[in-house]
């Protein structure tokens, strides 16, 4: 059965788009059929991170308004044949997205994919609420700093209030993905540590993505980090997170401040 995942955070610049691309690619690498959908209408980026910016003909808005068929707008990744992109429009504004239009697109995507990963825009306005509306699972992307944590907390409140699942009286499955984690700075107290963030947000931990130049390099190459350098620390952390999303019990790796980022293995598991 198809799972709709929303990647959301409230705050901008914490790594939603990077995470959407990396998780989408990691899931597709296991043979799952994956569609990544950019909801950031007017500020689309997911096509760049996936290296598909020159191949966007039709976008989410065309499909949601019924102007083209879904299959015409989906862009298949050149490296992973089970990974598809539905881009956002760069020229329209987010009011062009309607609730009914998005519901229609999501319904069609559910018929042909195992995973639909929605990249939410920052903020708590219309674009963000539309991206989360139809989700079954939320991945809350948070940086280890107080403003990001508070914004994530706000988003968690909205996930329990403004989604279809909440309207049905169900509680959405939510996961915390800690990104840009720098163990050295956390050790010095310049950043919140993992326990602080989990304590405040009270969400099960999906993964900890270490701060790494690999992520920036991958974005500039137009490839998700899980494709560009599968051996890198962030790529492995994303692949582990994808496995956990699929329900597998993968031991949590805590980035340590040793020279090897994966030097320390704690006995903790993803909840």
Partner 1 sequence: MAAAAPQPSAATPPPSRSFKFHGRTFLAFVLKPEMPIGRWIDEADSWLSRSPGFFSAKPVVVDVSRLLLTKGKLAKLIADLGSRGIRVMGLLGADPAWVDADLPPVLTPGRAMEPETSRETCEAPAPVKPASSSLVIDSHVRSGQTLFHDGDLTIIGSVSSGAEIVATGSIHIYGALRGRVLAGADGNTAAHIFCRRLAGELVAIDGYYRMAEDFPSDLLEEPAHVSLEDGVLTIKALD
Residues found near partner 1 in the complex (CB under 8 A): 124, 150-151, 153-154, 156-158, 160-161, 199-200, 202
Q: Is 59 helix (H, G, I), strand (E, B) or coil?
A: coil
The answer to whether 4 and 106 are in contact (CB under 8 A) is yes
The answer to whether 208 and 181 are in contact (CB under 8 A) is yes
For partner 1, give the closer residue by CB, 26 or 138.
138
Place of tokens 């914490």: 14
For partner 1, give the closer residue by CB, 203 or 237.
203
CB within 8 Å of 188: residues ≥ 6 apart: none
Beta carbon of residue 124, minimum distance to partner 1 (angstroms, whole number):
8
CA separation for the pair 268, 271 (Å, rounded): 9
Place of tokens 């708590």: 124
Beta carbon of residue 178, minimum distance to partner 1 (angstroms, whole number):
17
Beta carbon of residue 85, minimum distance to partner 1 (angstroms, whole number):
32
For partner 1, give the closer residue by CB, 79 or 150.
150
For partner 1, give the closer residue by CB, 155 or 225.
155
Q: Is 62 helix (H, G, I), strand (E, B) or coil?
A: helix
CB within 8 Å of 174: residues ≥ 6 apart: 137, 138, 140, 156, 159, 203, 204
For partner 1, give the closer residue by CB, 22 or 176.
176
For partner 1, give the closer residue by CB, 25 or 203.
203
The per-residue DSSP string of 116-153 comes to EEEEPPSSSSHHHHHHHHT-SEEEEEE-SSHHHHHHHH
CA separation for the pair 26, 229 (Å, rounded): 12
Beta carbon of residue 150, minimum distance to partner 1 (angstroms, whole number):
5
Beta carbon of residue 147, minimum distance to partner 1 (angstroms, whole number):
10
Beta carbon of residue 18, minimum distance to partner 1 (angstroms, whole number):
24
The answer to whether 9 and 153 are in contact (CB under 8 A) is no
Beta carbon of residue 13, minimum distance to partner 1 (angstroms, whole number):
19
For partner 1, give the closer residue by CB, 95 or 199.
199
């Amino acid at each position: 059965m198809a799972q709709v995942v929303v990647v959301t955070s409230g705050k901008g610049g914490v790594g939603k788009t990077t995470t959407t691309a990396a998780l989408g690619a990691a899931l597709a690498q296991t043979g799952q059929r994956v569609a990544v959908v950019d909801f950031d209408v007017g500020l689309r980026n997911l096509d760049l991170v996936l290296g598909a910016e020159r191949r966007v003909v039709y976008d989410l808005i065309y499909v949601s308004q019924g102007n083209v068929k879904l299959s015409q707008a989906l862009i298949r990744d050149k490296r992973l044949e089970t990974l598809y992109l539905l881009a956002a429009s760069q020229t329209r504004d987010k009011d062009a997205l309607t609730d009914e239009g998005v519901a229609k697109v999501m319904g069609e995507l559910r018929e042909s994919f195992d995973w639909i990963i929605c990249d939410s825009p920052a903020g708590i306005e219309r674009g963000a609420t539309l991206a989360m509306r139809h989700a079954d699972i939320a991945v809350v992307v948070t940086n280890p700093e107080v403003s990001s944590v508070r914004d994530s907390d706000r988003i968690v409140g909205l996930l329990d209030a403004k989604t279809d699942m909440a309207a049905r009286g169900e509680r959405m499955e939510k996961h915390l993905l800690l990104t840009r984690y720098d163990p050295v700075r956390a050790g010095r107290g310049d950043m919140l540590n993992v326990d602080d963030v989990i304590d405040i947000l009270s969400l099960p931990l999906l993964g900890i993505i270490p701060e790494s130049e690999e992520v920036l390099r991958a974005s500039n190459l137009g490839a998700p980090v899980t494709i560009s350098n599968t051996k890198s620390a962030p790529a492995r952390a994303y692949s582990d997170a994808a496995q956990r999303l699929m329900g597998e019990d993968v031991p949590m790796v805590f980035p340590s401040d040793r020279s090897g980022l994966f030097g320390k293995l704690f006995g903790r598991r993803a909840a």
